[in-house]
Amino acid sequence: MFFIGVGGAGLSAIARLMVQQGITVAGSDAADSAVLAALRAEGITCHVGHDAAHLAGVDTVIASTAVHDDNPEIVEAVRRGLRLWPRSAGLRSVMQGRRTIAVAGTHGKTTTSAMLSCALIAAGAAPSYAIGAEVASLGANARLGAGDLLVAEADESDGAFLVYEPEGAIVTNVEADHLDNYGTAEAYAAAFDEFIGNIGDFVVLNSDDDGAAALAARARQRGLDVVLAGFGEDAGLRGHALVVEGSVTTFTVSHHGVDLGQVRLAVPGAHYAVDALLALGAGIVLGQNVDLLIAGLAAYTGADRRMQLLGAAGGVRVYDSYAHHPTEIRADLAAARAIAGTDRLVVAYQSHLVSRTKIYGAEMGRELSAADRVFLADIYLAREVADPAVTPRLIADAVTGPEVTVAGPVATLAAALLPELHPGDLLLTLGAGDITKVGPEVLAALEARA
C-alpha cells in the first residue's frame, strides 16, 4: 500500500491504522516533516519527493486530494493500471468489521473526534480512531484499539463522507462551505441530509446550530435514535453555567433534566464546550459510564493547530489555529480574548482559497475586527489559481477598529510582525495554509533579540 501525500493529517492517520493491521505501508510527501519522522519510527517507509520508481512492487495507491493528476506517482499508477483510491476509500477499508462513529460537520470535527476518543478510552472502550490532526493527549492522530469501536473524522469537503456507512454519527454543525465543490449552500446542506441516510443506529446533533438541528426530522424518519445536545432549551443533553476563564472552560450538564455533573476542559472557548457535549452524547448512547466519559473529556488537552500554544518569548505568547471560515475566526478570537484578558491581541491571518475569500472575505474582515491589530498574508491558493480581483484587500476593507497591514507573502510575515510585537501581547496566527510556519519563526526571532 502506497500513500501519496502521507504526511498530511488524513492520509497519515489511515497509514498508521493499516500498518498496525500488519499491512506493508510506504508513502511520499513533498517535504520532510516531524510527521514523516514519526511514521518512519512506526515502520512506514517515507520518501521525500515524488518519483515513479517509488511504486515498484506496489499494487494499491491512495492519493491525497491535494495531489494533482500530473504527479509522477499518479501518472505511474495510471500507466500500470494499479488500484488508485481516494482517501475516503482507504478510510472505508479500515472501517470494515468495526462499529464506526463518524464525526461530521462544517466546524469542530477534529476536536469532537479527539474528545470522543479520549472519553471512550477513559471509559475502557479501547477504541480505534482516525483524526485530522495530531492530538497530544492521544499520542497521535490514529491508533488501532483492542475494542470494536472506531471514531472517524468524516470530511465533507469533497463529498468523501458520503461513502461511509457508520453505526452512529455526530453532526457538529452545517454551515455553507466548500462551495467550490458544492456550488450552492443548498447543495452543501443536501449532502448532510444524504449522510444521515447512511447511518445505521444513532446520530448526535448540535441543537444550537440550525443546520444540524434541521437534520433531526430526517433522522427520525430513518428510525435513528436522535440525541440533541447543546446549551439551548431544545437540547436533551444540555449544558448550563458555561464559564470560559483563561485557558479553561467549565460547564455543568444535565440529561433530560437529570444532573450529570460538571465538565472541566483544559481548552478555552464556548465552541469547545459544545464539542464536548456532542462527544458526551455519543458516549452515553454507546452505553459508557458517564463519570468516566467526563473524566476523559478533562484529559483532552487540544489538537495541533486548534488554538495551540506554540510557546512564549520576549513576553509574547504565540498561538496557532486552523480557523479559515468566519464562524471559526469568531470562535477562536473569542477564545484568544479570554486568554489575553486585558493584554493586546495581535492576529495574523492567511485566507485559504480564492473561492472562499471571494464569498466570505467581507465576513472574515468583520470577525477579525475583534482583534487589536491585524496582519493579512497573501491568500493560500492550494488547488486554485490566483485571481487579481480577489486579494486580501477584500478582507482588509471590512475590518473596523484595529489597524490592518496587508503584509504580502507568508515568507515575509514574521519580519513584518516582529517590530509590532511587545511584551504582554498575544499573537494568534490563523489559517488552513502554510501560515503555521510563522509562529515558530516569530518565537525564534523573539528569543534571539531577548
- Which tens digits make up the pLDDT trace of 253-299? 999 999 999 999 999 889 999 999 999 999 999 999 999 999 999 99
Concatenated DSSP letters of 161-192: GGG---SEEEE-------HHHH-SHHHHHHHH
Other Cβ atoms within 10 Å of 294 Cβ, number: 21
C-alpha cell at 248: 479553561
Please tell me the predicted confidence (pLDDT) of residue 450: 66
pLDDT band at 306 (very low <50, low <70, confident <90, very high): confident
Other Cβ atoms within 10 Å of 53 Cβ, number: 9
| Domain boundaries 97-299, corresponding CATH code | 3.40.1190.10
Express as a percent the part of the chain with pLDDT over 90: 83
Give 260: exposed, middle or buried? Use CB within 10 Å, 0-12, 13-18, 19+: middle
Strand pairing partners for 311? Answer: 318
- The C-alpha atoms of residue 189 and residue 172 are separated, in whole angstroms, by 13
Where in the sequence numbering do the catalytic residues fall?
109-110, 153
pLDDT band at 18 (very low <50, low <70, confident <90, very high): very high
Whether the per-residue pLDDT at 164 is higher than 80: the answer is yes
- The C-alpha atoms of residue 401 and residue 115 are separated, in whole angstroms, by 36
Number of helical (H) and strand (E) elements in the chain, helices listed first: 16, 21
- The architecture that CATH gives domain 308-449 is Alpha-Beta Complex (3.90)
Other Cβ atoms within 10 Å of 196 Cβ, number: 22
C-alpha cell at 15: 497509514
C-alpha distances in Å from residue 142, one per residue of 63, 101, 118: 18, 14, 12
Domain spans, the chain:
2-87, 97-299, 308-449
- The C-alpha atoms of residue 156 and residue 133 are separated, in whole angstroms, by 16
Please tell me the predicted confidence (pLDDT) of residue 65: 79
Task: Tell me the longest C-alpha to C-alpha distance in the chain.
Answer: 63
Q: What angle do CA 335, 341, 343 make, to 5 degrees?
A: 115
Query: pLDDT tens for residues 29-71?
Result: 988 988 999 999 999 999 999 999 999 999 999 998 778 899 9
Query: pLDDT tens for residues 348-387?
Result: 999 999 999 999 999 999 999 999 999 999 999 987 889 9
Nearest to 244 by CA among 218, 273, 215: 273
Express as a percent the part of the chain with pLDDT over 70: 100
Strands of 99-104's sheet, edge to edge?
142-143, 128-130, 149-153, 99-104, 168-171, 202-206, 225-230, 237-245, 248-255, 258-265
Strands of 26-29's sheet, edge to edge?
45-48, 26-29, 2-4, 60-63, 83-86
SS3 265: strand
Residues contacting residue 59 through CB under 8 Å, at least 6 positions apart: 82, 83
One-letter identity of residue 330: R
Residues contacting residue 281 through CB under 8 Å, at least 6 positions apart: 170, 204, 227, 229, 237
State the virtual CA torsion across 90, 91, 92, 93 in degrees, nearest 10.
60
Residue 119's Cβ-side half-sphere holds a number of Cα atoms within 13 Å equal to: 30
- The architecture that CATH gives domain 2-87 is 3-Layer(aba) Sandwich (3.40)
Query: pLDDT tens for residues 107-130?
Result: 899 999 999 999 999 999 999 999
SS3 383: coil
Task: Indicate the pTM of the whole model.
Answer: 0.85
| Buried-state track 107-129, b at ≥16 Cβ within 10 A, e below 16 | bbbbbbbbbbbbbbbbbebebbb
Helix axis angle, 109-122 relative to 270-285, nearest 10°?
Answer: 50
